[in-house]
């Protein structure tokens, strides 16, 4: 507890110095594992596609005395298809019947109204033809593709192509994890899910962009100094924006959690629930990927550049020389600092040494 | 990419927070005033929240005619569907295109949803059928209706037309000797006493009719059909094949219902190449011109050739749309590829008929994609759940902000409030302006946007705290933090807006409502941060509470672990210089 409290206080003071980049192999490994799990789950179990994607009907009745099993019998008898019946928080029933076309579902609704002894106009019905979901899915894919292309172009111009690539990989990573969780848990995929998933696009990148923005700022004029390598500065910008990332994620998740638990709790399954569930999963994945995947990837890509390689060499040489002279690095001169872009680049300079103590 | 210039430039507009605040205040007052003035003080609710039926149709082009799904055709289709739905007595039904190939029909609660669905779901079918008999719309139970097979005023219109050009066909709806017409038309070997001529025999089929049962049934149907009853009108055309002889209702030139006995379809909508309501300069009247396809021209030639030999009323052909006679012009000569219909048209009716004719020519059919019927009770429940969820989400965010940012949270909460107010007012105004309707996904979008809006403050606050950690005092910290925070906010909001815009353009239906809200709130976020949060922050930095970093201000240098300044000289110069605006490259 005290350790957690201590971390909280240090987060508050902006003092954390975890070595994200140094441990990137671990995070890559974890992400690859999760991604493979997601893909396998998707291949083996597939997705539980909702009514919107198969064609069928969802009927929502007002409060009735009919039991769930009884209602299920009625629905299956009336439709000749399997029915899923859920009781909602308000005591009403949600009856879902797959494989119906819009014509047939009308008859089923009329029959249900008789069986359940509820006036027909009190039964809400969502009748979906089989091609509707397909249309939504096609449009969603188009949207996804268009958005990815535009955002990569934008990031490549606003930042650089390496960041665009890293952001894209992080985005795909988030989507894969979200889809994987849906497949594993067997949550139903509805139009609401698709909406949520598409929203993750914006959110996931939003988070990544904030970290990149700080990274870009801190690495201005990086070749003019010999104190730090690109990776080290990248690590510091992650740490520098960590508080913000955590706060942003918490603040974004709170309303979504409200939607998920309260909205869903009152109404049972429904669009509120579907959107918020996929958002919840995707947001968490997005926060993770912007810290553990996107930025380390940028550092990796950057370190391949000749300029950065040369810088690393100079930095290491300087450190070796300093070590030979017995000088402490942390209290080193501020000579190089002036060459760096802004003071922000030196925030936390004295705390680099803490990274080891945070490990574990 | 150059290092930021550190100068003593006055911070430009930023040092005049009053202006920005005045601007946003004026905007808020103006918008709110506009909202009350327009009388739309609540956002228009979508079907899923208010209750009602929403039907999504997707246009399907026939093979080889994919280009038929275009804007003009879709708009014509919307017009036709609107006529149909509003013909059911639905006043507020709205029909609109969505995306390139979808039509959304929203029917508010309290209408006959089932009937509406049937009307909307069917494809418009247009046929030209020869008229075999016409009669007034009778009400068998009412004697005065049955005793009046008198010539309609429109008959005189037909007479007046006689002197006109040969090429013209006149929309007439002539009630005459229908008994003879029916028998002749159906070619019954022996004269069948038809019920229409005599009120007392209404509805009783004659047993001595040697005609085949189908003919007898049809005669009876014609006799008993009451066109004044909307149900019977719809029922009359149900399941009728183009090759059938049938009965149908239609309004005559003066808007009275009449019933028709019609022969098998000779020409159908696909045979019409184009039709328009045009003003004939020479005659000074509105007419409808029709162009037929080559196949259609042959068929039309055949039917007009036949009809022009006939007597009234059998020299007419009826233009039947969806089982209803739209017009029944009489034919005086054989017509072929081009034809015109003249009569007592006004601009509207001429263009209407032109549209109908060309719509019948469209190679478009519609598939029902989804039908969403929401009862008012369920809609209300969902709205309530959404609002509760939003309130709780907002409450949680506020608690978190207060705990974490203490005094600063005041600014955040005020900004969220401004943002919420603007969102609400704009949504209310967009209802009448562009038909925006708040649906469930839009509510979700608004709730999700709380996070996006709050994030901008977090970015800014964290920047200020960074500056304070470096040992700056409050006022310079607020000014120095702004340009950096501003850039981050703009860059990330742009990404968010891009996602919303792409979603809005590419997708349909519910996804679109969500994207719209998200995009709107992202834009408002920028407005609020620039015109409200930042100026208020500047003002508050001048107060003692914030400026001196009170323990509860959220900006206490000690709590934030501010470093003793590394370069004393420089820091002094900075604080002496007052607000500094480091210009980003």
Query: pLDDT tens-digit profile of B425-453?
Result: 998 988 877 778 888 888 888 887 888 78
Provide mean pLDDT across the span B481-508: 85
Residue B91 CB neighbours (<10 A): 8
**Which of A339-348, B135-144, B457-466 shows the lowest per-residue confidence on average (mean pLDDT)?**
A339-348
Distance from CA of A265 to the nearest CA of B (A): 9
Distance from CA of A100 to the nearest CA of B (A): 11
Q: List % helix, strand, coil for chain A (3-state, nearest 5).
A: 70, 5, 20
Mutate to test the interface with B, among A95, A123, A255 (most CBs of B within 10 A): A255
Mutate to test the interface with B, among A258, A266, A283, A294 (most CBs of B within 10 A): A258
C-beta of residue A263 within 8 angstroms of C-beta of residue A276: yes
Task: Check A220 against B1: CB less than 8 A apart.
Answer: yes
Asked if the model's pLDDT at residue A354 lies above 50, the reply is: no
**Which of A339-343, B10-14, B253-257 shows the lowest per-residue confidence on average (mean pLDDT)?**
A339-343
pLDDT computed for residue B524 by the predictor: 92
Mean of pLDDT over chain A: 76
Distance from CA of B122 to the nearest CA of A (A): 11
CB contact, 8 Å: B506 with chain A? yes
Asked if the model's pLDDT at residue B72 lies above 80, the reply is: no
H helix or E strand, kind and range, residue B52: strand B52-61
Percent share of chain B, pLDDT over 70: 69
Task: Check A347 against B390: CB less than 8 A apart.
Answer: no
Instruction: Write out residues 121-150 of B within 8 Å (CB-CB) of A.
Output: 121
Q: What is the DSSP string of B111-180?
A: S-HHHHHHHHHSPP-EEEEEEEEEEE---TT-HHHHT--PPPHHHHHHHHGGGS-TTEEEE------HHH
Mean of pLDDT over chain B: 72
Provide mean pLDDT across the span B182-203: 42
Q: Which residues in chain A have their CB less than 8 angstroms from residue B496's CB?
A: 202-203, 205-206
Asked if the model's pLDDT at residue B580 lies above 70, the reply is: no
Asked if the model's pLDDT at residue A352 lies above 60, the reply is: no
Mutate to test the interface with B, among A6, A124, A171, A337 (most CBs of B within 10 A): A124
**Which of B128-142, B196-210, B344-358 shows the lowest per-residue confidence on average (mean pLDDT)?**
B196-210
CB contact, 8 Å: A241 with chain B? yes
Q: Which residues in chain A have their CB less than 8 angstroms from residue B1's CB?
A: 220-221
Confidence band of A261 (pLDDT split at 50, 70, 90): confident
Q: Which residues in chain B have their CB less than 8 angstroms from residue A141's CB?
A: none
Asked if the model's pLDDT at residue B155 lies above 60, the reply is: no
Cα→Cα distances B245→B137, B203, B232, B240, B585, Å: 19, 19, 17, 8, 81
Residue of A14, A158, A194 with shortest CB distance to B491: A158
Say which residues have a Cβ less than 8 Å from residue B555's Cβ, sequence separation at least 6: B407, B408, B464, B465, B468, B474, B477, B546, B549
Highest mean pLDDT among A349-353, B37-41, B90-94, B334-338: B37-41
Mutate to test the interface with B, among A113, A202, A204, A252 (most CBs of B within 10 A): A202
pLDDT in tens, B345-404: 777 777 777 777 776 655 567 777 888 788 877 778 778 888 888 888 888 888 988 888
Asked if the model's pLDDT at residue A43 lies above 80, the reply is: yes
Task: Check B508 against A124: CB less than 8 A apart.
Answer: no
B583: β partners = B5
Residue A11 CB neighbours (<10 A): 15
Between residues B438 and B147, the one the model is more confident about: B438
Say which residues have a Cβ less than 8 Å from residue B151's Cβ, sequence separation at least 6: B174, B175, B176
Asked if the model's pLDDT at residue B29 lies above 70, the reply is: yes
Residue of B367, B459, B585 with shortest CB distance to A129: B367
CB contact, 8 Å: B472 with chain A? no
Query: Using CA atoms, how far apart are residues A137 and A130, in angstroms rounded to an integer?
Result: 12
Confidence band of A263 (pLDDT split at 50, 70, 90): low
Q: Does domain A56-128 have CATH number 3.50.50.60?
A: no
Residue environment code for B328-361, b if the CB has 16+ CB neighbours within 10 A, otherwise e:
bbbbbebbeeebbbbbbbeeebbbbbbbbbbbbb
Is it true that A34-47+133-309 and A56-128 share their CATH fold? no
Confidence band of B523 (pLDDT split at 50, 70, 90): very high
Is B555 strand, coil or helix?
coil
Task: Check A255 against B451: CB less than 8 A apart.
Answer: yes
pLDDT computed for residue B307 by the predictor: 80
CB contact, 8 Å: A191 with chain B? yes
Confidence band of B112 (pLDDT split at 50, 70, 90): low
Between residues B176 and A76, the one the model is more confident about: A76
C-beta of residue B55 within 8 angstroms of C-beta of residue B121: yes
Nearest CA in chain B to A12: B560
C-beta of residue A38 within 8 angstroms of C-beta of residue A181: yes
CB contact, 8 Å: A331 with chain B? no
H helix or E strand, kind and range, residue B329: strand B329-330
CB contact, 8 Å: B110 with chain A? no
Confidence band of A3 (pLDDT split at 50, 70, 90): low
pLDDT computed for residue A83 by the predictor: 80
C-beta of residue A250 within 8 angstroms of C-beta of residue A8: no
CB contact, 8 Å: B56 with chain A? yes
Highest mean pLDDT among A51-60, B195-204, B389-398: B389-398
CB contact, 8 Å: A71 with chain B? no
Asked if the model's pLDDT at residue B8 lies above 50, the reply is: no
pLDDT in tens, A81-122: 778 887 776 677 888 887 777 667 777 887 888 887 777 777
C-beta of residue B526 within 8 angstroms of C-beta of residue B552: no
Task: Check A150 against B502: CB less than 8 A apart.
Answer: yes
Confidence band of A327 (pLDDT split at 50, 70, 90): low
**Which of A131-135, B262-266, B389-393, B471-475 shows the lowest per-residue confidence on average (mean pLDDT)?**
A131-135
CB contact, 8 Å: A113 with chain B? no
Provide mean pLDDT across the span A217-244: 80
CB contact, 8 Å: A91 with chain B? no
Asked if the model's pLDDT at residue B535 lies above 50, the reply is: yes
Between residues B325 and B501, the one the model is more confident about: B501
Highest mean pLDDT among A16-20, A270-274, A286-290: A286-290
Architecture of domain A34-47+133-309: Up-down Bundle (1.20)
Q: How many CB pairs lie under 8 A apart between chains A and B?
A: 266
Highest mean pLDDT among B216-220, B376-380, B418-422: B418-422
B104: β partners = B56, B96
Distance from CA of A252 to the nearest CA of B (A): 4
Distance from CA of A165 to the nearest CA of B (A): 15
pLDDT in tens, B240-264: 677 778 888 877 766 778 888 888 8
CB contact, 8 Å: A157 with chain B? no
pLDDT computed for residue B526 by the predictor: 92
> Please, what is the end-to-end C-alpha distance for chain A in angstroms?
15
Task: Check B392 against A262: CB less than 8 A apart.
Answer: yes
Provide mean pLDDT across the span A229-255: 82
Q: Which residues in chain B have their CB less than 8 angstroms from residue A60's CB?
A: 375, 378
Highest mean pLDDT among A220-234, B141-155, B526-540, B565-579: B526-540
Query: Using CA atoms, how far apart are residues B381 and B389, in angstroms rounded to an integer?
Result: 12
What tokens appear for B546 in the block? Answer: 């914030």
Confidence band of B67 (pLDDT split at 50, 70, 90): confident
> Please, what is the end-to-end C-alpha distance for chain B in angstroms?
6
Asked if the model's pLDDT at residue B178 lies above 50, the reply is: no
pLDDT computed for residue A17 by the predictor: 67
Provide mean pLDDT across the span A328-352: 41
Query: Using CA atoms, how far apart are residues B383 and B376, in angstroms rounded to an integer?
Result: 10
Task: Return the domain boundaries, chain A.
Answer: 34-47+133-309, 56-128
Instruction: Write out residues 229-288 of B within 8 Å (CB-CB) of A.
Output: none
Asked if the model's pLDDT at residue B547 lies above 50, the reply is: yes
Instruction: Write out residues 537-576 of B within 8 Å (CB-CB) of A.
Output: 559-561, 563, 566
Task: Check B58 against A135: CB less than 8 A apart.
Answer: yes
């Amino acid at each position: 507890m005290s350790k957690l409290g201590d971390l909280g206080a240090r987060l508050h003071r902006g003092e954390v110095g975890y070595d994200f980049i140094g441990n990137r192999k671990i995070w890559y490994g974890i992400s690859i594992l999760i991604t493979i799990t997601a893909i396998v789950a998707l291949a083996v179990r597939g997705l539980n596609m909702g009514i919107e994607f198969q064609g069928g009907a969802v009927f929502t009745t007002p409060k009735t005395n009919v039991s769930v099993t009884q209602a299920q019998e009625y629905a299956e008898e009336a439709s000749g298809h399997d029915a899923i019946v859920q009781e909602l928080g308000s005591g009403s029933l949600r009856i879902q019947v797959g494989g119906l076309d819009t014509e047939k579902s009308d008859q089923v609704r009329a029959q249900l109204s008789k069986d359940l002894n509820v006036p027909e106009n009190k039964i809400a019905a969502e009748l979906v033809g089989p091609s509707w979901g397909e249309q939504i899915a096609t449009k969603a894919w188009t949207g996804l593709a268009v958005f990815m292309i535009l955002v990569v172009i934008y990031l490549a111009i606003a930042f650089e192509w390496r960041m665009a690539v890293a952001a894209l990989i992080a985005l795909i990573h988030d989507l894969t994890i979200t889809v994987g969780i849906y497949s594993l848990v067997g949550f139903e995929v509805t139009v609401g899910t698709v909406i949520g998933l598409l929203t993750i696009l914006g959110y996931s990148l939003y988070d990544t962009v904030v970290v990149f923005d700080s990274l870009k700022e801190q690495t201005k004029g990086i070749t003019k100094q010999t104190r730090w390598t690109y990776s080290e500065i990248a690590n510091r910008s992650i740490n520098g924006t960590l508080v913000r990332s955590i706060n942003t994620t918490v603040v974004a998740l709170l309303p979504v959690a409200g939607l998920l638990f309260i909205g869903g709790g009152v109404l049972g399954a429904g669009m509120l629930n579907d959107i918020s569930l996929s958002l919840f999963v995707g947001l968490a994945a997005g926060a993770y990927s912007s810290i553990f995947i996107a930025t380390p990837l940028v550092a990796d890509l950057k370190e391949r550049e000749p300029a950065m390689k040369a810088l690393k060499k100079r930095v290491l040489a300087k450190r070796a020389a300093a070590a030979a002279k017995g000088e402490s690095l942390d209290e080193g001169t501020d000579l190089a600092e002036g060459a760096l872009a802004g003071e922000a680049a030196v925030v936390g300079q004295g705390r680099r040494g803490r990274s080891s103590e945070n490990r574990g | 990419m150059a290092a930021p210039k550190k100068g003593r430039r006055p911070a430009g507009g930023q040092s005049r927070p009053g202006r920005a605040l005045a601007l946003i205040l004026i905007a808020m007052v103006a918008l709110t005033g506009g909202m009350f003035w327009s009388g739309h003080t609540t956002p228009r609710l979508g079907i899923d929240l208010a209750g009602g039926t929403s039907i999504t149709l997707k246009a399907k082009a026939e093979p080889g005619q994919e280009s038929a799904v275009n804007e003009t055709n879709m708009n014509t289709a919307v017009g036709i569907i609107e006529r149909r739905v509003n013909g059911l007595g639905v006043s507020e039904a709205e029909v609109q295109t969505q995306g390139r190939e979808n039509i959304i029909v929203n029917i508010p609660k309290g209408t006959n949803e089932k009937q509406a669905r049937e009307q909307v779901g069917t494809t418009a079918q247009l046929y030209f059928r020869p008229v075999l008999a016409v009669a007034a719309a009778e009400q068998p139970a009412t004697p005065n209706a049955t005793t009046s097979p008198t010539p309609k005023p429109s008959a005189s219109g037909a007479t007046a037309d006689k002197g006109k050009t040969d090429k013209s066909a006149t929309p007439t709806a002539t009630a005459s000797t229908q008994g003879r017409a029916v028998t002749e038309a159906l070619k019954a070997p022996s004269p069948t006493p038809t019920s229409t001529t005599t009120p007392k025999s209404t509805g009783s089929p004659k047993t001595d009719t040697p005609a085949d049962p189908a003919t007898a049934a049809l005669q009876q149907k014609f006799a008993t059909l009451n066109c004044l009853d909307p149900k019977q009108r719809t029922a009359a055309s149900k399941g009728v094949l183009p090759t059938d002889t049938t009965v149908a209702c239609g309004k005559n030139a003066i808007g009275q219902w009449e019933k028709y006995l019609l022969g098998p379809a000779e020409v159908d909508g696909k045979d019409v190449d184009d039709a328009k309501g045009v003003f004939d300069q020479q005659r000074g009247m509105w007419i409808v011109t029709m162009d037929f396809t080559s196949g259609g021209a042959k068929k039309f030639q055949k039917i007009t050739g036949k009809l022009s030999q006939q007597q009234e009323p059998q020299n007419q052909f009826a233009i039947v749309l969806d089982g209803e006679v739209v017009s029944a012009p009489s034919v005086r000569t054989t017509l072929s590829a081009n034809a015109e219909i003249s009569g007592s048209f006004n601009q509207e009716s001429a263009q209407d008929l032109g549209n109908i004719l060309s719509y019948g020519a469209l190679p478009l059919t519609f598939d029902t994609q989804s039908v969403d019927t929401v009862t008012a009770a369920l809609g209300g429940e969902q709205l309530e759940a959404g609002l509760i969820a939003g309130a709780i989400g907002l409450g949680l965010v506020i608690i978190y902000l207060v705990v974490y940012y203490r005094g600063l949270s005041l600014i955040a909460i005020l900004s969220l409030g401004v943002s919420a107010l603007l969102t609400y007012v704009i949504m209310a105004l967009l209802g009448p302006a562009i038909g925006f309707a708040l649906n469930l996904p839009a509510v979700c979008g608004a709730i999700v946007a709380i996070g996006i809006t709050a994030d901008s403050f977090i970015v800014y606050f964290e920047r200020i705290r960074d500056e304070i950690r470096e040992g700056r005092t409050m006022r310079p910290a607020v000014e120095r933090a702004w340009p950096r925070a501003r850039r981050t906010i703009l860059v990330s909001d742009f990404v968010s807006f891009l996602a919303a815009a792409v979603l809005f353009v590419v997708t349909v239906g519910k996804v679109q409502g969500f994207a719209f809200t998200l995009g709107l709130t992202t834009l408002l976020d920028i407005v609020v941060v620039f015109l409200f949060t930042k100026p208020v922050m500047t003002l508050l930095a001048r107060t003692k509470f914030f400026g001196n970093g009170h323990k509860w201000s959220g900006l206490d240098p000690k709590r934030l672990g501010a470093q003793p300044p590394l370069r004393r000289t420089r820091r002094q110069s900075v604080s002496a210089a007052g607000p500094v605006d480091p210009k980003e490259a």
